[in-house]
Chain A
Amino acid sequence: MLRDITLGQYYPAKSIIHQLDPRVKLVTTMIFIISLFVAKGITGYAVATLFLVMAVRMSRVPFKYITKGLKAVFMILMITVVFNLFLMDGEIELWRFGFLRITDKGVRTAGFMALRLIYLIIGSSIMTLTTTPNDLTDGLERLLSPLKRIHVPVHEIAMMMSIALRFIPILLEETDKIMKAQMARGADFESGNLIRKARAMVPLLVPLFISAFRRANDLAMAMEARCYHGGEGRTKMKPLHYESRDKTAYAVVWGYFLLVTAITWFQRQYGVMLL
């Protein structure tokens, strides 16, 4: 299960999306997420779907790989759907059992909620799959650099993120190893009630924390040995420049956002609600 988390995993390929400036991808993802909350009704989501499909196709990342990220959040998705399904009050009752009831509005909201979450995950997965974590943090660092003026340690935050991303796969592998080592000593991580299960985690978590601290210590030393001393006076191996394709991408994205907003506005204004 641990291996299914694709978030933060780069998928190497040569595509237009891969080549885009990370800032463009970050901004696009933000806009896309906002658009999901702006969009109402089928027309809006149709446009969002079209945009997403286009991005997926252009990224050249196999669709199967992108959806792997969904497995990890399946539970959250189910909970959201169930809550909306049963708790949303609507006019037409479709099903009833005791105090539980499902209404038309519940189905609609649950459906859109699920769609919104799925799109959100897919959208951000495309970003992380097509951008190396270093590019991503570089992009973030640049986008947030105005905050330096109010003494936000932007460079340090970006560096921490980058390191965290590099060590996620290593720590996952380590978790797997320690789990197996403790299982070889008869540990049981699966059976028992919640308290038993929680207590069974101690032999896994203690070694994991110790290992994480040891790694952090080693890494800090290795970084210092290579003359790391914060962001000051540092040059970039891959400085960020906007190319013409980045400008085109911005235009497309803003076009998309305006379209979704316009549709929503139109629906509101004239009460045209499809579905």
Chain B
Amino acid sequence: MIRAEELTFDYERLDEEGNVESKKRAVDHVNLHIRPGKFIAVLGHNGSGKSTLAKHINAILMPAEGTLWVDGMDTKEEGKLWSIRQEAGMVFQNPDNQIIGTVVEEDVGFGPENLGVPTDEIWRRVEESLGAVGMLKYRHHSPNRLSGGQKQRVAIAGVMAMHPRCIVLDEPTAMLDPHGRASVIQTARKLNREEGITIILITHYMEEVVEADHIFVMDQGKIVMQGDPRTIFSRVEELKRLRLDVPQATLLAFELQKRGIPLPDGILSNEELVDRLCQLKSKM
């Protein structure tokens, strides 16, 4: 679905005459391969390059070196721009700054309108997408009156209406309260499971990624770790060094291990830890 080879990107700072004054490498020779239908998470601290990487998938940014393919299409090929953006939709962090319409349903219709979809078909897609994110009953509302979580779900519906095969969510929950966060993540999981849409979730919240199929961890523009959640979260100290965290249950298990209690690495949930602890007891 998505493949990157030696992908590199620099932010350039221009002086007054428009010459390049300084460069800051944001993505540094990244190689990755994401297969269709997967739920992928990208972790990394602020400024680690994860958002810059995400913007390449939607062809908002073009690589300085290397290549990125979306469904076999090279993002540098100008003629493919709109097909790439239609196939790989993007949801951004700030819910207020990505809703264009003044009524929920009109916003969801914005993408299909741009694609030149016939009117009847737009209506069908709008209904279907709002239904998929559970926002159908708010279709006539003004986005300004919705909560942050609801706004993000409308934004997801807006992408869904373009019939993408992949959705990149760039810190969609950073500005939300726990309720909104849970509803957005649930929606993303549901679309992944039921519609088979590839999800690439970029986040700071460790609890949101424990069920991901695969996790990439970024630091200084490079992918420094990858693997399934269990592998990643068993490396507690390494993650802490990267300004990240692990789920609370994982952290507790790690703390208990340090105190000499025999527990396996990479415990991800409360249930798992409780079971392990009770088994310990019966063995003794």
Contact = CB atoms under 8 A, between A and B. Distances in A.
B118 A163 contact: no
A133 B103 CA distance: 9
Contact of B101 (A134, A224, A227, A229): A134
Interface residues of A, number: 31
Contact of B119 (A227, A228, A239): A239
Contacts of A150: none
10 contacts: A10-B103, A10-B142, A166-B99, A215-B97, A226-B114, A229-B82, A235-B112, A235-B116, A235-B117, A237-B106
Contacts of B266: none
Interface string A203-244: 000000000001100110111111111000111111100000
Interface of A: 10, 12, 132-134, 162-163, 165-166, 169-170, 214-215, 218-219, 221-229, 233-239
A222 B126 contact: no
A223 B92 CA distance: 11
A165 B96 contact: no
Interface stretch (B5-13, B83-91, B194-202): B83-91
B22 to A, nearest CB: 21
B158 interface: yes
Contacts of B112: 235, 237
A233 B86 CA distance: 15
Interface in B71-96: 82, 85-86, 89-90, 92, 94, 96
Given A215-B97, A235-B113, A237-B113, A227 B106 contact: no
Interface of B: 55, 58, 60, 82, 85-86, 89-90, 92, 94, 96-103, 105-106, 109-119, 122-123, 126, 140, 142-144, 158-159, 162
Contacts of A235: 112-113, 116-119, 122
A223 B107 CA distance: 11
> Is chain B's binding surface mostly helix, strand, loop or mixed?
helix
Contacts, number: 100
The 9 closest A-B pairs by CB, nearest first: A237-B109, A218-B97, A222-B98, A227-B114, A226-B111, A225-B90, A237-B122, A133-B102, A233-B116
B269 to A, nearest CB: 34
B102 A165 contact: yes
Nearest to B122: A237
B103 A169 contact: no
Contacts of A162: 100, 102
Given A227-B114, A228-B110, 8 more contacts: A10-B103, A165-B102, A166-B100, A219-B98, A222-B100, A226-B111, A227-B115, A235-B113
A218 B98 contact: yes
A162 B126 CA distance: 20
A185 B180 CA distance: 31
Contact of B116 (A133, A214, A234): A234
A230 to B, nearest CB: 9
A138 B105 CA distance: 15
Contacts of B109: 237-238
B82 A227 contact: yes
A12 B140 CA distance: 9
Contacts of B96: 170, 215
A132 B60 contact: no
A225 B89 contact: yes
Contacts of B159: 226
B85 A132 contact: no
Nearest to A133: B102
Nearest to A237: B109
A152 B126 CA distance: 32
Contacts of B55: 221
Nearest to B141: A12
A72 B283 CA distance: 77
B142 to A, nearest CB: 7
Given A10-B142, A237-B119, A227 B100 contact: no
Given A234-B114, A235-B119, A218 B60 contact: no
Contacts of A219: 97-98, 100
Contacts of B99: 166
Contacts of B94: 215, 218
B191 to A, nearest CB: 17
B121 to A, nearest CB: 9
A215 B99 CA distance: 11
B97 A224 contact: no
Contact of A236 (B60, B82, B90, B119): B119
A238 B106 contact: yes
Contact of B103 (A132, A215, A228): A132
